[in-house]
Amino acid sequence: MKHILIIVKCCKNLNVGKVSLLTALLLIVLNSDAVAQSTSDTVLQEVKVSGRYKTSGDTRINDFSPGQKLVIIDSATMRQYQLQNIANLLAQQVPVFVKSYGFNGLATLNFRGSSAAQSQVLWNGVPIQNAALGLADVSALPVMFASKVNVVYGGSAALLGSGNVGGALLLENDAPVFRSRPDKNNDLSLSVGGGSFGQLMGGFSGSTSNKRWYFLANGFFQIGTDNYRYTTAAGAHMLMPNDTMSSKAAMVRGAYKIGDRNVVTLSAWYQENDRDVPPALFESYSDKNQLDKSLRLLLDWTKQTDKNNWYVKSSFIKDEVKYSYQSVQLHTDNIAYQYYQEIGWKKQLHEYGQLLLFTPLQVGWINIADSSKLRQQDRIALAAAYDYKHFNDRLDVAVNARLEKIIGQAEAVTQQNVFMPGLQASFKIVNWLVVRANVQRTYRAPALNELYFNPGGNASLKPEQGWSEDAGYTLKVKAGNFTLVHDLSVYNRDIHDWILWLGGAIWTPHNIAEVHSRGVETENALHWVKGKWAAHLGVNTAYVLATTVASYIYNDGSLGKQIPYTPRYNGQLNIGFGYSKFSVNYNHTYTGYRFTTTDESAFVLPYNTGNIQLMYSPAIRKHSWQFTAQCNNVWNEQYQVVASRPMPGINWLAGFKVVLL
């Protein structure tokens, strides 16, 4: 087998204001799908804390993160939430705080007291945060478009890049499946659902393949009128005005098998979300509207041999946000672009060790509103990881490091070379007990909007940097028909020059001298399976203390106080049972106080929500069917996640999916 074409073009001395892309084209180089499900998988189960088995398509997480806490959304839960968005899935099933601005509003992630900009979202290993905002709206991501959803806790900047401070959400599509049997070459499924507030949604997924080619297409749409009742500050009961929404999305993937272990895949993902912005409780009227458009393209090449794995990822992302406020004649159109590329090589060095080398490049640029200026930020890095296993794989140690050059950070730091080392380890003391630890240096350069947004940007911002440590253990015991799983994690993170937006009419980001985050998380689950019967009980808890310990402001009232919108306590309970192809689950979530000011002078009250999920998966006329129903907020709790943004009371959603081929 010979290399036919390898072209690598490098552009040096990348400068602000000039679009300079490092490109690598590796094309034409070097000359599965049925999964058996146990009866217990028909029960909607809580998320699982992973051991050291492969669950992700990202080799950085699978093979070089033994000390990282990884939470896996199981397949039954994914099927239950197939017609919903990622924000709903995580808010109800994972111990992570989802900061939601309303039933159909923006939703961002808070891992262990981190900010939304300190949390990454990766699609098949590529970051998809908006290049201007530095964050991703998880309410705009359909569950249907992901085959796997995993959550990584704790910093891993050496492997996942600067900006990975609190954790990461991993969205993955299954690898292409090439089939030679004519009766197994095609798949087609349809999904339809509806619910409260005029919700109507639907989608399809279809694929076809042969020995060399693979093609898949997904589509999704949703419309609704979020006219739910809420209680005003004066105690009056009102219907939510200015509340219509619609979204549509499509994803296509094509793959070509060059050789037995040599595949090129091209993916395209486009979506639009058009939503009115209802008034906050302090507003009497709103005619605001926001239209979000995203285009994501990804070219992925992989080649595997007995001891060497090569891969190349090249992606282009365009995010457009159109915002209008008719009453004040405000209209903005913000467009952000991002190019990302990563070339990697993994080699099995000997029986106990393996090495990973990769070179990521990330370029983001925007055109500033009311200006002809182009603002750009470039990141290029060289990263390495070495994993060592011994004592029949009971001991697993990984050392990783990244040297990253960031250009176009701010006026205070125009460019800098950043070294981010990390060390991880896990040890299986006995077959039912595994301990783990993770130490990482963290770093995040200010996002483009934080620097240059008009009005409000602060070009004098300093980058966030510090260290994070976490440790824990996983205990799994099986006795007869019962399985007990218990996981505990403790963590500590110290960040200097934390970036926080403050202000009134015009918000501006500022640096906080030092923020200290620490806490404890537990995941507990008890499963019982006997014949066609199955039952489970799960309790997840999180305690987060994220406080300001130093400030640049004299006599600052925020010292020793909790960072805004970081709940000290939150948790979930799942309890349910299943028989044959039927399952029922009750989910209960608790979220504690969220302070809305740095001095804890104002806060949002805690809330409890209860949710019930039903699922039935029969075979009818040789077709597989799946019927789902969900009742959210069954206790009709009146609550707010974000101050002055009321959430809906009791509401329901029902749908079905049929596999036609």
* pLDDT, tens digit (0-9, with 9 covering 90-100), for 200-236: 999 999 999 999 999 999 999 999 987 888 877 777 7
* DSSP β-bridge partners for residue 193: 201, 655
Rg of the chain over Cα atoms, rounded to whole angstroms, equals 24
* Cis omega (within 30 of 0) for bond into 455: yes
pLDDT digits (tens, 9 = 90+) for 171-210: 999 999 998 776 678 899 999 999 999 999 999 999 999 9
Residue 327: count of CB within 10 angstroms of its CB: 10
For the record, the structure tokens of 627 come out as 């019927």
- Mean pLDDT in the chain? 88
Q: How far is CA 121 from the centre of its chain?
A: 4
Task: Give, rounded to a whole angstrom, the gap between the first and last alpha carbons of the chain.
Answer: 37
Percent of the chain with pLDDT over 90: 74
At 33 the pLDDT is 32
Query: Is 282 strand, coil or helix?
Result: coil
Query: Is 139 strand, coil or helix?
Result: helix
* CB 545, CB 532: distance < 8 Å: no
Task: Round to whole Å and give the CA distance between 420 and 465.
Answer: 10
In the chain, DSSP finds a helix count (H) and a strand count (E) of 5, 37
CA distances from 328 to 324, 380, 507 (A): 9, 42, 18
Residue of 321, 332, 323, 314 whose CA lies nearest to 294: 321
* DSSP β-bridge partners for residue 315: 298, 340
For the record, the structure tokens of 643 come out as 């101050």
Q: What is the mean pLDDT of residues 549-554?
A: 91
At 447 the pLDDT is 94
Residue of 214, 39, 212, 35 whose CA lies nearest to 617: 39
* CB 586, CB 575: distance < 8 Å: yes
Task: Round to whole Å and give the CA distance between 356 and 502.
Answer: 41
C-alpha neighbours within 13 Å on the C-beta side of residue 506 = 8
> % helix / strand / coil in the chain, to the nearest 5?
5, 55, 35
Domains and CATH numbers, the chain: 7-31+42-659 (2.40.170.20)
Task: Round to whole Å and give the CA distance between 516 and 558.
Answer: 13
pTM above 0.85, yes or no: yes
Instruction: State the amino acid at position 282 in one-letter form.
Output: F
Task: Round to whole Å and give the CA distance between 566 and 115.
Answer: 9
Residue 636: count of CB within 10 angstroms of its CB: 12
Q: What is the mean pLDDT of residues 568-573?
A: 95
* CB 585, CB 574: distance < 8 Å: yes
pLDDT digits (tens, 9 = 90+) for 246-259: 999 999 999 999 98
* CB 563, CB 97: distance < 8 Å: no
Q: What is the mean pLDDT of residues 503-515?
A: 89
* 552 sits in which H/E element: none
Task: Round to whole Å and give the CA distance between 316 and 636.
Answer: 43
- CA quadruple 229, 232, 238, 243: dihedral, nearest 10: -70
At 142 the pLDDT is 95
Alpha helix stretches (DSSP H) within 72-188: 75-80, 86-93, 157-160
For the record, the structure tokens of 140 come out as 């705009």
Point out the least confidently predicted range of 9-18, 266-275, 527-536.
Answer: 9-18
* CB 426, CB 387: distance < 8 Å: no
Question: Per-residue b/e over 483-505, b at no fewer than 16 CB within 10 Å?
Answer: bebbbbbebebbbbbbbebeeee
* DSSP β-bridge partners for residue 220: 203, 249
Q: What is the mean pLDDT of residues 43-65?
A: 69
Q: What is the DSSP track for 100-114? A: ESSTTS-EEEESTT-
At 54 the pLDDT is 54
pLDDT digits (tens, 9 = 90+) for 395-415: 999 999 999 999 987 777 778
